[in-house]
């Protein structure tokens, strides 16, 4: 059974647009906070720190299903929708209360920041990601 990583993110006043809703570009920031929690905090809790050495984003796509207003934190659920040798795709759902407000996907590439090149996933990284894989 596939697991989902769940993270609550506060909606900040600075996330709002002129219409009083979360600005479309700020959704990426909310998704980023959840993704960083998964790959830094969640992975570190399992003894894995290699993601902290570099991941770059090669693609984002977002579906906006309804506006999100300022107020309570939003809940973001993440899982892995595709796992390849040198990249993986994170899928997200953002909930405002119990209502699905947005879906998104990010293609992530492990990256050697010091030497500036993409790299393959390690076996330890693959083992961390597999429980979240929607196969």
pLDDT tens column, 32-77: 999 999 999 999 999 999 999 899 999 999 999 999 988 889 999 9
Give the SS3 label for residue 111.
strand
Looking at the chain, how many residues does it have?
A: 135
Which band of pLDDT confidence, cut at 50, 70 and 90, is reported for residue 8? very high
With a CB cutoff of 8 Å and minimum separation 6, the contacts of 43 are 49, 51, 52, 128
Which band of pLDDT confidence, cut at 50, 70 and 90, is reported for residue 2? confident
> pTM to 2 decimals?
0.93
Residue-level pLDDT at 19: 82
* Beta-bridge partners for 86: none
The string over 20-31, giving b where at least 16 C-beta atoms fall within 10 Å of a residue's C-beta and e elsewhere, is: ebbeeebbbebb
Residue-level pLDDT at 88: 98
| 10-27 tens-digit pLDDT | 988 888 888 888 888 899
* Helices vs strands, H then E, count in the chain: 3, 6
Give the tokens for residue 39: 């790959």
Give the tokens for residue 11: 């909606």
* Domain boundary assignment for the chain: 5-132
Q: 5-132 belongs to which homologous superfamily?
A: Hotdog Thioesterase (3.10.129.10)
């Amino acid at each position: 059974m596939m697991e989902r990583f769940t993270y609550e993110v506060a909606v900040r006043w600075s996330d709002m647009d002129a219409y009083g809703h979360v600005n479309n570009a700020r959704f990426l920031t909310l998704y980023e906070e959840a993704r960083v929690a998964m790959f830094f905090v969640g992975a570190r809790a399992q003894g894995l720190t290699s993601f902290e050495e570099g991941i770059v984003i090669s693609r984002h796509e977002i579906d906006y299903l309804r506006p999100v207003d300022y107020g309570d934190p939003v809940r973001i659920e993440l899982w892995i929708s595709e796992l390849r040798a040198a990249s993986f795709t994170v899928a997200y759902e953002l909930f405002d209360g119990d209502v699905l407000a947005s879906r998104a996907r990010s293609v992530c590439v492990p990256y050697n920041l010091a030497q500036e090149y993409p790299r393959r996933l390690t076996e330890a990284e693959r083992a961390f990601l597999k429980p979240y894989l929607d196969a």
